[in-house]
Chains A and B, each alone.
Chain A
């Protein structure tokens, strides 16, 4: 089954404790990205990757890191999480960035930083 998977789905952590949210897709997609969803703000892009070893900042990259060492994986790293990073996170992938190249979203990761 074609899908984007994220782990963990739920995470409670404390301020300053490094964490990684994994994202993997099995569709051989070139483009991958991370979004965060906050009430009243919709979804905002954190980072994106056009291909392996090519990543760039989205609209809200502060406090996050990413890497794209393999085409299928695009982990999101919070080196020192803070309470303002409490949010719902989505990974998305697509074959490219054309109109018909639908972005597939993962199931989301709900993060609470205490």
Chain B
């Protein structure tokens, strides 16, 4: 069974600084998808960034980028130029492709609570 681990329950960063959130996962599959979701105090789940395992190039979305290390099964999120609005819980998630049994199910990590301080 796949598992996702976020070992940092809480982190803080000064506004305008860079922060990296860690995520590791365990799977025997070779093809899969990885995601980072943001959950602000409103509790809404917002997709931040996604990565396909067979693509070696790291995904980027504006100030958000990932460091995907497939062999190490690591998928960290880097937030550059942190803003107060980045304060949220961040979840790393794994998903098998649709042609697998239970494809489409998101398997989430425990979450990392990020505080951006002025």
Number of A residues with CB within 8 Å of any CB on chain B: 27
B45 contacts A by Cβ under 8 Å: yes
A100 to B97 alpha-carbon distance, docked (Å): 11
> Which A residues from 45 to 92 make CB contacts under 8 A with B?
45, 48, 50, 56, 58-59, 88, 90, 92
Q: Is the CB of B45 within 8 A of A105?
A: yes
Q: Which of these binds chain A: B61-69, B74-82, B101-109? A: B101-109
Interfacial chain A residues near B105, Cβ < 8 Å: 33, 45, 48, 58-59
Interface of B is mostly: loop
Known: A42-B91, A96-B98. A48 touches B108 (CB 8 A): no
Residue from A88, A90, A97 whose CB has the most chain B CB atoms within 10 Å: A97
Number of B residues with CB within 8 Å of any CB on chain A: 25
The total of interchain contacts (Cβ-Cβ below 8 angstroms) comes to: 59
Please tell me which one of the listed residues B47, B107, B109 contacts residue A102 in the complex, with CB atoms under 8 A apart. Answer: B47
A59 to B105 alpha-carbon distance, docked (Å): 9
Interface of A is mostly: strand
Known: A96-B98, A97-B98. A90 touches B45 (CB 8 A): yes
Where the two chains meet, the residues of B that have a C-beta atom closer than 8 Å to any C-beta of A are: 4, 6, 9, 33, 42-45, 47, 50, 52, 91, 95, 97-98, 102-111
Given contacts A35-B108, A58-B105, A99-B97, 17 further A-B contacts (CB under 8 A): A31-B104, A33-B104, A43-B106, A43-B108, A48-B102, A48-B104, A56-B102, A88-B43, A92-B45, A92-B106, A96-B104, A98-B98, A99-B50, A107-B42, A107-B44, A108-B43, A108-B44
